[in-house]
């Protein structure tokens, strides 16, 4: 057996410190992407953000699984004000392009480089489970960097990216050992940069942004479709899928509004959000297969605006106990119709959709009690669900979608 002598510069205590920093960066990145998903207008970016935030949730999960083996509690702040400031500032980007540039052209490249450095420096056999996590995380991170390179090809490096780079340097880089290390452990990181004038304080998005290719109408709202021929019905069902970004946006908003929920909730919700972006894409693809352009399908963004007026628990209940629980009868009708006409593609798409939706209803039952508690709702869960479903029928199924006038602009 060959005994290797790697550099092994990272000892057990240092390893923990570093893993806490990575877990923090991955988790905050996921939360920032969720916050910005409804506020981002570009549909291609929105579709990608659902996947990106779910993949970052996988990274948090891998790091969490390792951290819980070496420290209690497994989730803890990095204990570095400069690093916390970097992630706290990253959300206040002037635009979606700047936001993504800060995350994917500054923070993530540094994170990926640090994962590679760490892989070289840790004790290879004793710390093998950490190496396993890094190896798998890096596959995604490389793909994220490649995605951003292409998506942001037309976006010049600007003052926002420079600001984020300055904040990262002030934290001593991802490892915290950059400048500060060179000063013999004394906290002499680069001085924190001044925010550029373009910095825009992030505000919770209560409207769903769409690029100007789309028409936004209130057509049919949540109304039940009247009896029409099967072909038209089928097309309308998939047009409706192509609008499921609205569900992804609501789940993203719920993630943003619920920073104090347990990690397992954020993990499930990241998947829920990603699934809805996949359902949206499935609608887009079906329409394309049948010679239709989804851009021509009006986006009923009023649904998001209507839901977003409520607290996170009510929104979650409207979605999981209203829309998702009540979607199955129609889905079964669709499946029967497709079986009759031998429409394999539609049947396959709806089968996968139903598998996801069953999980979403399970998530709803699993998390509503705690989400209610976090939102100060102390009524019995069954009573709350019953009342919220009645609200859903009154305001959504009726097509009314009432939105109160915005107070104070």
Residues engaged in binding Fe ion (CB under 5 A): 244, 276, 279, 324, 357, 360
Of residues 78 and 364, the one with the C-beta less far from Fe ion:
364
CB of 209 to Fe ion, least distance (A): 20
Helix spans in 71-127 (H): 81-90, 96-101, 108-121
Q: Which of 325, 329, 304 lies closest to 315 in space, CA to CA?
A: 304
Of residues 26 and 276, the one with the C-beta less far from Fe ion:
276
Reduced to 3 states (helix: H, G, I; strand: E, B; else coil), residue 125 is coil
What burial letters (b/e) apply to 105-131, b meaning 16+ CB within 10 Å? Answer: bbbbebbbebbebbbebbbeeebeebb
CB of 237 to Fe ion, least distance (A): 12
Could you tell me if 35 and 58 are in contact, meaning their C-beta atoms sit under 8 angstroms apart? no
CB of 271 to Fe ion, least distance (A): 10
CB of 318 to Fe ion, least distance (A): 12
Residues sharing a CB contact under 8 Å with residue 305, sequence separation 6 or more, in sequence order: 206, 207, 208, 401, 403
The CA distance from 34 to 270, in Å, is: 8
Of residues 23 and 360, the one with the C-beta less far from Fe ion:
360
The CA distance from 258 to 256, in Å, is: 6
Of residues 161 and 324, the one with the C-beta less far from Fe ion:
324
What burial letters (b/e) apply to 371-393, b meaning 16+ CB within 10 Å? Answer: bbebbebeeeeeebbeebbeebe
The CA distance from 319 to 322, in Å, is: 5
Could you tell me if 300 and 217 are in contact, meaning their C-beta atoms sit under 8 angstroms apart? yes
Q: How far is CA 177 from CA 56, 118, 170, 186, in A?
A: 24, 12, 11, 10
The CA distance from 259 to 28, in Å, is: 10
CB of 311 to Fe ion, least distance (A): 20
**Rounded to a whole number, what is the distance in angstroms from the first to the last CA of the chain?**
71
Of residues 156 and 329, the one with the C-beta less far from Fe ion:
329
CB of 273 to Fe ion, least distance (A): 10
Of residues 175 and 315, the one with the C-beta less far from Fe ion:
315
Of residues 180 and 360, the one with the C-beta less far from Fe ion:
360
Of residues 106 and 318, the one with the C-beta less far from Fe ion:
318
CB of 364 to Fe ion, least distance (A): 9
What DSSP assignment string belongs to 364-400? Answer: HHHHHHHHHHHTT--S-HHHHHHHHHHHHIIIIITS-
CB of 227 to Fe ion, least distance (A): 24
CB of 365 to Fe ion, least distance (A): 14
Of residues 168 and 273, the one with the C-beta less far from Fe ion:
273
């Amino acid at each position: 057996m060959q005994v290797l002598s790697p550099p092994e510069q990272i000892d057990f205590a240092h390893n923990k410190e570093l893993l806490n920093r990575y877990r923090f960066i991955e988790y905050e990145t996921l939360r920032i992407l969720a916050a910005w998903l409804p506020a981002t207008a570009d549909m291609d970016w929105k579709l990608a953000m659902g996947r990106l935030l779910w993949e970052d949730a996988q990274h948090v999960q891998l790091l969490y699984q390792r951290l819980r083996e070496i420290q209690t509690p497994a989730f803890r702040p990095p204990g570095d004000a400069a690093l916390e400031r970097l992630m706290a500032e990253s959300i206040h980007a002037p635009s979606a392009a700047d936001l993504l540039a800060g995350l994917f052209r500054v923070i993530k490249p540094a994170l990926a480089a640090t994962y590679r450095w760490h892989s070289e420096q840790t004790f290879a056999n004793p710390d093998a489970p950490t190496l396993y996590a890094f190896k798998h995380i890096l596959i995604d991170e490389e793909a994220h960097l490649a995605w951003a390179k292409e998506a942001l090809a037309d976006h010049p490096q600007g003052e926002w990216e420079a600001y984020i780079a300055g904040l990262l340097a002030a934290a001593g880089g991802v490892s915290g050992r950059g400048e500060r290390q060179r000063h013999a452990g004394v906290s002499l990181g680069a001085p924190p940069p001044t925010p550029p004038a373009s910095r825009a304080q992030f505000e919770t998005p209560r409207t769903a942004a769409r690029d100007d290719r789309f028409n936004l109408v209130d057509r049919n709202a949540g109304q039940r479709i009247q009896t029409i021929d099967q072909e038209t019905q089928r097309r309308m069902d998939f047009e409706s899928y192509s609008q499921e970004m609205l569900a992804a946006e609501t789940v993203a908003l719920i993630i943003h509004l619920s920073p104090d929920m347990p990690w397992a909730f954020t993990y499930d919700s990241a998947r829920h959000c990603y699934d809805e972006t996949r359902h949206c894409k499935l609608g887009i693809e079906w329409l394309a297969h049948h010679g239709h352009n989804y851009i021509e399908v009006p986006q009923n963004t009023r649904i998001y605006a209507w839901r977003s007026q409520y607290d996170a628990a009510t929104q979650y209940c409207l979605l999981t106990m209203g829309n998702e629980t009540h979607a199955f009868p129609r889905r079964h009708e669709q499946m029967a119709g497709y079986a009759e006409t031998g429409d394999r593609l539609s049947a396959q798409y709806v089968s996968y959709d139903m598998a996801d939706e069953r999980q979403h209803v399970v998530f709803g039952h699993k998390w509503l009690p705690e989400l209610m508690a976090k939102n100060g709702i102390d009524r019995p869960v069954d009573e709350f669900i019953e009342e919220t479903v009645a609200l859903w029928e009154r305001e959504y199924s009726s097509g009314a979608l009432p939105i109160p006038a915005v107070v104070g602009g």
